[in-house]
Structure 1
């Protein structure tokens, strides 16, 4: 299937305005996200064909006008005037493609109110900072996003720090002072994330409305829960290491009255800087004075990790891998690791030998296998039996916690290389991977880039 010059590789998502496809660019084969204007009938009836077309190209124009590390770039626009093979091409535009997004990282589903995975303080603050920086760039140009939520926050896995955050989906955005062609009573934004004033009157949304959505997202990243309808619940109920200063932050970020919220992105960033400084001081104090009387957690008795790769579809993946509803192991059999000084780490309980450093760069699944082949060709650490690990073997790297307590331990592996390919396949075009930092399992297509960490034994 082709749309214009682009070869379609799969459907990424569908909404009222149309669909987003994974596509390959001509000649180079670069993978992009291609958004097509093909609205549902009810949207055409409510808004009108001309108004939808105007909104569609306004989104492309708004994104293309911004050059910022935290805003996804528009690469090409097709206005629908061209014909290919005698057929007219639907209006479309292409954007940078990213495999990961915050919704997947959190384990959020379309049943938004269900519990999601907490991400840990430092990861949550880093992502929130990237979101605010991207929004501040939009706000500087007078653009209000109006649909800030986890699934509109893409994550560039091969970039570190806040730069990995990429805002997308400007279909509901507006210019400051502009009136948008929405029918009376039409909801603009996403339930649970939209600010109260935006739900009541979409035209009243301003910078503070977008920052409210960041506050909801950050609260959820830290706790795995949505704030209550009357404002944020005390965050210490969910995270015992966060004190009153965090409650004060969320009381301001999630205030129902916009006048009492953070007025702009720089003000919210300054408050986050203070919270992070307090958190780092607290962490340093805890790690400097460990509880010497605390007994280590005993290693749980879990089934021996499977070493033979298998193929498991999404429907049966949780059962096959022994995972809970948030795709985390039901039994954390984390191992006892010892650096052997030759670039390998011994897992003492099971006798597995792990490559300590892993691939220098994130790789496609095919290149991850090539990395393993290179280790064997070069007899790395004197061995030629290196292989990509299975999901079960990778799960032994999980601690079962992101914080606190575990952050005091010296990691046996590079924590920046947390997302690791497994040898297990989901389908012909997809494989399973793990996030060893946050402790969950998920899948991606083979062209996505994660790190490879080989195992032997």
Structure 2
């Protein structure tokens, strides 16, 4: 299947304005995300297809005009074939053969929504990311928004699934803001029907919900505040009891954090941070306070609180294929895709590039692959270990999900406990031997302690196991 010059490799997602596909560029074959204007029928009926396509191309123009490390870059824009005269009276099937407007941008495997474990039931608890990572991600979000606000652009749909995470650099995710379909220039009225909802529930500022045209930079700051609150607590603001503060919900965060969120989440925009730069400055002060305070709150991990496997338990070593509907039961995971039971954690550094798990008898590659690799290249990495006889062994292989779960500490929040790992913490996302489909496989995030799947063209590290 082709759209314009692009080979379509799969559907990534759909929205009111169109669909996003994984695609390959012509000649070079580079993998990209291709956004195609194929609006939902109700949106086309209410606004008119011509107006929707105008909004769609405006998104491409908006993104293409911004160059910033934390804003996704546009690679190519194609306005598609002109709408035929009288298209308003045509059925959708009559326009099916026409090439619609589309644009390509970088393809990123991860996003903040996946990292947090958020799903369509947004009000359900999500994973805690830890203060250090949460502060870093929020700072990058604000840096990207600061660039937009400088140009007079209000995003109006800041939420975890619109925050892509590019390949990690020394353990640090690089934020890329996407989805500018609802953005507008300062002073520009919202295109579309008066009743059209702009933004996403729970993340949208009160004044934007009441009147999208009143949304300014402070509305985007509010959305970042909601996202940061959730990264720290696993909850939406006010969830679990009206007016509960972040210090009520997190034992290591004090009144300085409460004061920050009182400003960031103020219902009255006049009492909020005036723009992203002001909020970024406030976040920097909070980060300085946290770093000075962090060592005193680092506590020793209570192993007794973690459900452990029996000493004689052996994890499955044979790879299997399972889909998302059955994976949690098959792998023994909870609703946030974390193990219901953990290994006993008896790791011993053998001082030859390997680590022995005395509980399971498994021998692990200590360093892992030097670089993040596609799944295919991760398998090549394992073959290289066998050729080189790491630790005197030739039976190295990719681990199963059950085996990878034995690497998890059982801590519910990264960075909160004084845990020294024998493994490189910067190589946390690890390919497994288990597959979801012909083109997707399961991986582990050893830092946050969860299992998920990704396209095999994505790049994660390999950490081989033997035994």
The answer, yes or no, to whether TM exceeds 0.5 is yes
Aligned length: 452
Which of 429, 444, 448 aligns to 2:454? It is 444
- Counterpart in the other structure of 1:149: 159
User: Deviations along 1:28-48, whole A, 9 cap, x unmatched?
Assistant: 111111111111221112112
Cα pair 1:241 1:404 within 8 Å, conserved: no
- Counterpart in the other structure of 2:87: none
Distance 1:264-1:162 versus aligned 2 partners, 3 A rule: farther
Cα pair 1:130 1:162 within 8 Å, conserved: no
Unaligned stretches of 5+ residues in structure 2: 84-95
Distance 1:112-1:7 versus aligned 2 partners, 3 A rule: same
Cα pair 1:70 1:163 within 8 Å, conserved: no
- Counterpart in the other structure of 1:51: 51
CA distance in 2, matches of 1:59, 1:448: 26
Give, in angstroms, the shift of residue 431 of structure 1: 0.4
CA distance in 2, matches of 1:223, 1:250: 13
1:274 to 2:285 alignment = yes
User: Deviations along 1:188-219, whole A, 9 cap, x unmatched?
Assistant: 10010000000001001111100100000011
SS of the residue aligned with 2:145? Answer: helix
SS of the residue aligned with 2:436? Answer: strand
SS of the residue aligned with 1:156? Answer: strand
- Counterpart in the other structure of 2:334: 324
Choose 400-409 or 111-120, whichever is displaced more.
Answer: 400-409
Give, in angstroms, the shift of residue 270 of structure 1: 1.9
CA distance in 2, matches of 1:162, 1:340: 28
Superposition misfits of 4+ residues, deviation over 3 angstroms: 158-163, 229-232, 294-299, 402-407
- Counterpart in the other structure of 2:102: 92
1:393 to 2:389 alignment = no
- Counterpart in the other structure of 2:40: 40
Give, in angstroms, the shift of residue 410 of structure 1: 1.6
Distance 1:15-1:405 versus aligned 2 partners, 3 A rule: closer
Give, in angstroms, the shift of residue 184 of structure 1: 1.5
Cα pair 1:332 1:395 within 8 Å, conserved: yes
1:27-426 equivalences under 5 Å are 27-81=27-81, 88-160=98-170, 164-228=174-238, 233-287=244-298, 300-302=308-310, 303-403=313-413, 407-426=417-436
SS of the residue aligned with 1:21? Answer: strand
Distance 1:421-1:428 versus aligned 2 partners, 3 A rule: same
Cα pair 1:101 1:154 within 8 Å, conserved: yes
Give, in angstroms, the shift of residue 238 of structure 1: 2.2
Give, in angstroms, the shift of residue 399 of structure 1: 1.2
Distance 1:343-1:232 versus aligned 2 partners, 3 A rule: farther
CA distance in 1, matches of 2:69, 2:167: 13
Cα pair 1:231 1:256 within 8 Å, conserved: no
Give, in angstroms, the shift of residue 286 of structure 1: 4.2
CA distance in 1, matches of 2:98, 2:170: 41
- Counterpart in the other structure of 1:16: 16
Cα pair 1:146 1:205 within 8 Å, conserved: yes
SS of the residue aligned with 1:183? Answer: coil
User: Deviations along 1:77-108, whole A, 9 cap, x unmatched?
Assistant: 1111389xx95311111111101011111111
Cα pair 1:70 1:166 within 8 Å, conserved: yes
What's the TM-score, normalizing by structure 1?
0.94
CA distance in 1, matches of 2:185, 2:243: 29
CA distance in 1, matches of 2:374, 2:178: 23
CA distance in 2, matches of 1:430, 1:263: 44
Unaligned stretches of 5+ residues in structure 1: none
Give, in angstroms, the shift of residue 275 of structure 1: 2.1
Choose 152-161 or 259-268, whichever is displaced more.
Answer: 152-161
Give, in angstroms, the shift of residue 267 of structure 1: 1.8
CA distance in 2, matches of 1:291, 1:321: 28
What's the TM-score, normalizing by structure 2?
0.92
SS of the residue aligned with 2:402? Answer: helix
CA distance in 2, matches of 1:295, 1:66: 49
Give, in angstroms, the shift of residue 232 of structure 1: 5.5
CA distance in 1, matches of 2:141, 2:314: 41
Give, in angstroms, the shift of residue 268 of structure 1: 1.3
CA distance in 2, matches of 1:404, 1:67: 32
CA distance in 1, matches of 2:292, 2:118: 31
